[in-house]
Copies of this chain bind each other. A is one copy, B any other.
């Protein structure tokens, strides 16, 4: 399995698509997490993401290792943005390519679910009412 793991100020869906593109693969599943304009009914101005970068990259690699052990996935891109992000901005992209689609769905969902549980990245929410949440 080829893997692209990155944490950067700005990420794009296109770079993930470009990375996973391969004539050997018939099914690609992509998850994108974008900043919503509300959280539980409260208007959101922006999010601020920070990370413990060295450990976050290490935990992302562990997820990739688990994906490789469990499924016959050819390519996996795992990108996370940090810094100020506004509604509509992309915060995370997971892209998976495999010869067959069922396992691509499973691996993509596993990757984003596990990333949200284990990777040391934190967001702070800035609300339109002036409040700040964590």
Contacts and interface: CB of A to CB of B under 8 A. Distances in A.
Interface of A: 13-14, 17, 21-38, 87-88, 99, 101-102, 104-105, 108-109, 112
A5 to B, nearest CB: 20
Nearest to A38: B24
A34 B26 contact: yes
* Residue among A21, A27, A32, A104 with max Cβ neighbours from chain B (10 Å): A32
A23 B38 CA distance: 8
Question: Does more than half of chain A's interface fall in helix, strand or loop, or is it mixed?
Answer: mixed
Closest 3 CB pairs of A and B: A23-B87, A23-B37, A30-B30
A92 to B, nearest CB: 10
A21 B109 contact: no
Contacts of A36: 23-26, 99
A101 B105 contact: no
Contact of A30 (B23, B29, B33): B29
Contact of A33 (B27, B37, B112): B27
